[in-house]
């Protein structure tokens, strides 16, 4: 198994809409994980979830999730740099 690089960042969650679907969006603090720069991450919610329910889900995530961990292979990074 190869060596892995682990990066951490604080995150926050908001509710948004994309293509008519309610989405819980993930926002990293301070843009410190290079792998995630320029990416938008969201969780598509089931049809029928009300905006109030979506807000409650985002609030619960904000109260309980403090960060995200991203693990990348150092060998893969070296190969990409060739």
pLDDT per position as a tens digit, 42-73:
999 999 999 999 999 999 999 999 999 999 88
Contact (Cβ atoms closer than 8 angstroms) between residue 71 and residue 4: yes
Q: Answer whether residue 26 shows pLDDT above 70.
A: yes
Residue 32: domain span? 4-80
Q: Considering the chain, what percentage of its residues have pLDDT values greater than 70?
A: 88
Task: State the total domains in the chain.
Answer: 1
Q: What is the DSSP string of 20-67?
A: TEEEEEEEESTT--GGGTT--EEEEPPTT--HHHHHHHHHHHHHH--E
User: For residue 44, what are the β-bridge partners?
Assistant: 23
């Amino acid at each position: 198994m190869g060596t892995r690089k682990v990066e951490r960042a604080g995150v926050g969650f908001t509710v948004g809409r994309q293509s008519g679907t309610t989405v819980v969006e993930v926002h990293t603090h301070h843009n410190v994980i290079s792998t995630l720069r320029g990416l938008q991450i969201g969780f598509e919610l089931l049809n029928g979830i009300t905006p109030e329910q979506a807000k409650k889900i985002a609030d619960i995530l904000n109260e309980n999730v403090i960060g995200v961990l991203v693990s990348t292979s150092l060998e893969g990074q070296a190969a990409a740099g060739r």
